[in-house]
Chains A and B, each alone.
Chain A
Amino acid sequence: MTNTLRFLALLLAALVTAGCGSQKSDAVKVGMNIEMTGDIPAVGASSKNAAEMFFEKVNAAGGIPLAEGKKKKVELVVRDNGAKADQAASVAQQLISSQDVVAMVGPNSSACAIPAGEIAETLKCVMISPWSTNPKTTMDTTANVPKRYVFRGCFTDPFQAIVLAKFVLNNLGAKKAAILYDVSSEAPLGQATLFKDTFTANGGEIVASETFTTGDKDFSAQLTNIRAANPDVIFLPTYYNDVPLIAQQARRLGITTTFIGSDAWSSPEIIKLGGADVEGSYFCNHFSTQIATDEAKQFVADYTAKYGQAPDDVAALTYDACGLIAEALKEGGKNDREALREALAKIREYKGVTGTFRFEPGSGDPLKSAVVLQIKDGAFQWVTNAQP
């Protein structure tokens, strides 16, 4: 019996210590809610690398200059959401309520960003998702107005759908498309629906539309259906970890059609996992190392020197998201959420590595241009640009 009491006492002590964990430090805390484990860990790793690189630079220069000549260093608080929506919501709660971060970067995947955005909006804390393209992330769906505290660093899916649909119809001259997408995940579902609408509105024809659920490994049934419909291209708006399996099974079934992807393809892991099966495919992206501006070239060089590999779009967008936060902190002058929010919304021209940022009043979505890349010879090759 006393053993149990001792055990209880230990537990209580642990709880108290855990609760007293958040000390008040003098630095500005920025939270990261990213996918370090789970289905898409490469995305989280890219994000973390870029953020760490950015804030190291800031801190090396003494910190962010606030009002009254004070300079405050930035402390990055990174938490893993495991690419799971509920975990992302819980992490958002923790970062905002208990870690007292002034702003939150991420989540990247739309399935995580949407619920985290709800929490950020309710708790009135700025959130910038570097990579989430689903319109719902910055939109308050019940009232149908844009959210006040949630921003993003990239273009949105409606724009991406137009870019891809036009590319397929005009550049590739293809009229018949088939779609295979994950019906249980926000981003692929949204992208598939928008592509369907845009493609048909511009004269194309969707000959087959198949779905699968997250975690599925076997697509032979769906691919057999697609094969029978004989499309010119197959649209696969799904994350980089699913594409290799789909591509390989399609090739094994004798399907030689070109694949078209969304920005969810953007990690270099897709080449490592997909190999020859994804060769020749096109996809839409936010960033290409090949057409970089001067800022971008510097960023690419720094990132490659520090981490030994070229940055992908997630890294570039996260770098810009951090830059936006730093800029807003500087303009706002205070380590305060409201001040940051006001300053961020007022940014008219911020030159990031992925383009120039400009937030229209009332909207958290910047106007950005897109690129179309092709996987050729085992690398991403730039094909064309698309302006909004």
Chain B
Amino acid sequence: MDYFAQQAINAVQLGSIYALIALGYSMVYGVLVMINFAHGDVFMVSSFFCFLLLLVLPVPFVVALIIVMLATAILGVAIERLAYRPLRNAPRVSAIITALGCGLVIQNTTLSLSPYSQRMPELFKPVTRQFAGVTLSSLQILIIGVSVGLMIALDFFIRKTRYGMAMRAIAQDRISVPLMGVPVNQIIAMTFAIGAALGGAAGVLYASAYPVISATMGVLVGWKAFVAAVIGGIGNVRGAVLGAYVLGAVEVFTVTVLPSTYRDLVVYSLLLVILIFKPYGLLGRPAVQKV
């Protein structure tokens, strides 16, 4: 039983990180109907931001988190402004390919500048405690706590504030909403900023949990988080969170019963099965297509 509980905690930790990244994908898709393939590499860069920051100025965890989230938000908005906005009226595929290209540029620039993996300095000393046969680390609690806190804040933001309402409005109808006086460009920039900031938080937490960072780590994690967003229903914020925890659980528990080479097989087969039976994801709703 305690073995199961231990693995459950691992699953929740992994799921929390996936959730933060998946939210970035979902939010951008919601307002722009575009898959932001650069998001995984933005997440990777944020951990390098954190690494560089700690190299220059050893700050406590919370300060580092805020600074990195801000820096990543700026990066996200910059990408949107330079690469995506000009393509807003172009065929959708062009935007997706541009996103792919941006991601590759970011990834390989980082790789060229840092061909070796880097060790992240410790942000704080985690305390481990044995708790009914389960080893709990304060780092795990922190990761889960910060993630859940940010998710609740985001949910509140989207549902209760005017900007959140504007985001939901644009997600529903991008053509007529600007006619109502909603500053679309600003709202979209804000969406990217928030999505990237969450990715930045994920980067800091991920680097704390797995302190060896390399330029290629965004690819796998990014695609997995994207899969999570899709499982939950892409465009749906709550769905992204649900999908992420489902994915985390499947990944962790698959490895406990099967050899690790089966993990990706199970995860993607599950994805396929879910999409066959619920083509719009677990919480997604079919988009009404006007003929």
Contact = CB atoms under 8 A, between A and B. Distances in A.
Contacts of A213: 260-261, 263-264
A222 B14 contact: no
B7 interface: yes
Contact of B210 (A36, A42, A217, A275): A217
A377 interface: no
B210 A211 contact: no
B139 interface: yes
Contact of B259 (A211, A252, A269): A211
Contacts of A273: 117, 119, 212
B252 A252 contact: no
Contact of A211 (B6, B211, B261): B261
Given A213-B260, A273-B212, A221 B111 contact: no
Contacts of B252: 218, 220-221
B261 A248 contact: no
Contacts of B115: 36-37, 41
B87 to A, nearest CB: 22
Given A228-B3, A244-B212, A212 B220 contact: no
B128 interface: yes
B107 to A, nearest CB: 12
Among B10, B214, B217, B261, max chain A CB count under 10 A is at: B10
B109 interface: no
Interface in B228-284: 252, 255-256, 259-261, 263-264
Interface residues of B, number: 30
Interface in A6-41: 36-37, 41
B135 interface: yes
A183 B260 CA distance: 8
Interface in A180-234: 183-184, 211-213, 215-218, 220-222, 224-225, 228
A245 B259 contact: no
B126 interface: yes
B10 A220 contact: yes
A285 interface: no
Given A252-B139, A272-B119, A241 B212 contact: yes
B117 A241 contact: yes
B40 to A, nearest CB: 14
B130 interface: yes
Given A213-B260, A213-B263, A218 B210 contact: yes
Contacts of B161: none
B232 to A, nearest CB: 21
A93 B3 CA distance: 50
Interface residues of A, number: 31
A216 B126 CA distance: 22
Nearest to B215: A37
Interface string B109-141: 001000111010000001010100001010100
Interface string A334-363: 000000000000000000000000000000
A269 B116 CA distance: 9
Contacts of B256: 221, 225
Contacts of A253: 135
A388 interface: no
A262 to B, nearest CB: 19
Contacts of A244: 119, 211-212
A308 interface: no
Nearest to A215: B220
Contact of A216 (B3, B7, B260): B260
A222 B210 contact: no
A254 interface: yes
A211 B10 CA distance: 17
A37 B119 contact: no
Given A211-B261, A254-B128, A221 B10 contact: yes
Nearest to A273: B119
A228 B133 CA distance: 11
B10 A212 contact: no
A204 to B, nearest CB: 23
Contacts of A37: 111, 115
Nearest to B217: A217
Given A41-B115, A273-B212, A252 B126 contact: yes
A272 B211 CA distance: 12
A119 to B, nearest CB: 25
A184 B264 CA distance: 13
Nearest to A271: B119
Contact of B260 (A222, A241, A252, A272): A222
A42 B116 contact: yes
A270 to B, nearest CB: 10
Contacts of B128: 252, 254
A248 B117 CA distance: 16
Contacts of A221: 7, 10, 252, 255-256
Given A221-B252, A228-B3, A245-B210, 14 more contacts: A37-B115, A42-B116, A183-B261, A211-B259, A218-B210, A224-B6, A241-B212, A241-B214, A244-B212, A245-B212, A252-B128, A269-B117, A273-B119, A275-B119
30 contacts: A36-B115, A37-B111, A41-B115, A183-B261, A184-B261, A211-B260, A212-B260, A213-B260, A215-B220, A217-B217, A218-B14, A218-B210, A220-B252, A221-B7, A221-B10, A221-B252, A221-B255, A224-B3, A224-B6, A224-B10, A228-B3, A245-B212, A252-B128, A252-B137, A254-B128, A254-B130, A269-B117, A273-B212, A274-B119, A275-B119
Q: Which 10 A-B pairs have the closest CB atoms?
A: A220-B10, A221-B255, A273-B119, A217-B210, A212-B260, A41-B115, A254-B135, A221-B256, A213-B260, A224-B6
